[in-house]
Amino acid sequence: MHNEPTRALIVVDVQNDFCPGGALAVSHGDEVVAPLNKLITEFLERGEPVFKSRDWHPQVTKHFAKYGGTWPIHCVQNTPGAEFHPSLIDDPRIQVVSKGLGDKDCYSAFDETDLEQQLREEHVDEVWVGGLATDYCVKNTVLDARKKGFEVKAVSEAMRAVNLNPGDDEQALAEMRKAGAEIVE
Ligand code: VGL
Ligand code: ZN
């Protein structure tokens, strides 16, 4: 008997601060919204689970350069910069996963969240991943999903990179591929 995989979609950190005009803008970050909306619609129509992760930092955290970390202040809880991009589909069936609540750099949607447990409860074996940014939270979410044994489809047209160093995007895709993720358009 042929069994289709049980799929889930993980939309990573499509928040105002990661989009043009935001505090930690990813260039062309807003271009992920259209392809992700298509996927969200398709998954919801098929009754498949959809998760949105969000970077959800306290005002003071060692994640920020000001307190010893790497990044400008971004995605502070309950500020406009932390809101999802206004054009990203909102639906009560979508489950929100908040990460980065403490001092640790949580680049994966699995890091200090209950995402794995939720996927297990819904018997998911394959996750589709897109969002922001390719070279941080998308990459780490994909790598963690592989470590935890999920099949992964990483949707290249639905992600954009920070590219702190040129070529970080290509390197991130290569790492995902090496970990066994399939890169799909
Ligand atoms: C991210 C840098 C800092 C991300 C989060 O969501 O990719 N990048 N915090
Ligand atoms: Zn962050």
Provide the pLDDT for residue 100: 98
**Residue 13 annotated in active site:** yes
Q: Is the CB of 172 under 6 A from ligand 1?
A: no
- What is the C-alpha to C-alpha distance for residues 102 and 48, in angstroms, rounded to an integer? 31
Contact 143, 175 (CB under 8 A): yes
């990483």: which residue's tokens? 154
**Residue 106 annotated in active site:** no
Tell me the whole-structure pTM to 2 decimals: 0.97
Q: Is the CB of 13 under 6 A from ligand 1?
A: yes
Q: Spell out the domain ranges in the chain.
A: 7-184
Residue 152, token pair as written in the block: 């992964």
Provide the pLDDT for residue 56: 98
Does the domain spanning 7-184 belong to CATH 3.40.50.1220? no
CA angle 136-98-56, nearest 5°? 75
Q: Which ligand is nearest to the CA of 102?
A: 2
Provide the pLDDT for residue 3: 76
Provide the pLDDT for residue 174: 98
- What is the C-alpha to C-alpha distance for residues 13 and 11, in angstroms, rounded to an integer? 7
pLDDT (tens, 9 = 90+) of the chain, 185 residues, equals 567 889 999 999 999 999 999 999 999 999 999 999 999 999 999 999 999 999 999 999 999 999 999 999 999 999 999 999 999 999 999 999 999 999 999 999 999 999 999 999 999 999 999 999 999 999 999 999 999 999 999 999 999 999 999 999 999 999 999 999 999 99
